[in-house]
Amino acid sequence: MERQRNISEFILLGLSYDQNIQIFCFVLFLFSYVALLAGNLLILVSIRCSPLFHQPMYYFLIHLSSMDICYTSTVTPKLIVDLLGGTKTISYDNCMLQLFAVHFFGSIEVFILTVMAFDRYAAICKPLHYMLIMNRTRCHLLVLAAWAGGALHSFPQLMMTIQLPFCGPNEIDHYFCDIFSLLKVACTDTYITGVLVVANSGMVTLVTFIVLFASYVIILFSLRHHSDEGRHKALSTCGSHITVVILFFGPSIFAYLRPPATFPEDKIFALFYTVIAPMFNPLIYTLRNREMKNAMRRVWCQKPCLMHSLKEIVIFFKRASTIILGAMEV
């Protein structure tokens, strides 16, 4: 790899050269990141300390909130710091790590959203067999499959990128190490690599979106046989899921399901699936959910459970970071 490149760092051109715009973006994204952390930690603790933890939907919601934090934390802190600095640089190794982490956590989030759609299908279309279908063992296996799918998606992306020669220039027209931006600065013909990237990222995005769309069409079609109360409750839950799917998949499809190229709009669309959509997830899943709001009221008065759950969350993120860093060193 050392023989294939003669640069040790990349320069990120960021969102804008205008100082006023950078200050505005700094305030906006700092607020967004703090809101994302607070909202998702609120969900994690509230579910973990309440009986909702034993329900499959909220079990998956815990993992979705964890992925929101991990996924956004690979990009947003660096973006916030760069908005206050001068030259925005990132080392080659950290760039490759960021590329891997973005695709790893992002694809896990995609697969968990798909699993949650399957859970809603089982709950609404097969209510009598729901607890049998979505037993805890199967829930564990589905989450494990989502992590395995994330690894199968992200490692090929990383392997294709680290084999590219980078001879200069080293300026990336983005605010993080996105794969299409890296292909643009590689000093070789990247057409085949670009096609493979589209086949990988694009097809993962398209297939999962089709599966999600089909599952919700089936769910909505089956609701005509339910009572008005059951229909209202199901529509409220599915409405939250559909909103999250649209916010995440709309920009993702534009970014990856197209010929391998870069466009000025890429950075704007990337903000939606790296910052904005994860920030709105806690609001979407809590404000429209009576069970979550009731659980939050009960949980935050129980200090022993609260402290125990916070310790578990810290241990989880430490283990996740150790696994990722160990994989990168290998």
Tens-place pLDDT, residues 88-132: 888 888 999 999 999 999 889 889 988 988 888 888 888 888 888
Quick: pLDDT tens for 159-182.
888 888 888 778 888 888 888 888
Q: Which of 297, 288, 160 shows the shortest CA–CA distance to 234? A: 288
Tens of pLDDT, residue by residue over 50-90, are 778 888 888 898 898 888 899 998 989 888 888 887 678 88
> Any idea where the domains of the chain sit in the sequence?
17-301
Top CATH class, 17-301: mainly alpha
Residue 327, pLDDT > 50, answer no
Q: Which range (61-75, 206-220, 234-248) has the least confidence?
A: 234-248
Q: At what angle do helices 303-329 and 56-73 cross, to 10 degrees?
A: 50
pLDDT (tens digit per residue) in 256-299: 776 666 666 778 888 888 888 888 777 777 666 666 767 666 66
- pLDDT of 226 > 90? The answer is no
C-alpha–C-alpha distance, residues 85 and 162, integer Å: 28
DSSP result, 263-306: -TTHHHHHHIIIIIHHHHHHHHHHHT-HHHHHHHHHHTT-HHHH
User: Residue 1's pLDDT is what?
Assistant: 40
pLDDT at 25 over 70: yes
Look at residue 108 in the predicted model and tell me its pLDDT. Answer: 92
Q: What is the pLDDT of residue 319?
A: 61
Q: Contacts from 220-227 at CB under 8 Å and sequence distance 24+?
A: 222/124, 222/125, 223/124, 226/124
∠ Cα 232 234 238 (to 5°) = 120
Q: Which of 23-32, 158-167, 237-246, 283-292 has the lowest mean pLDDT?
A: 283-292
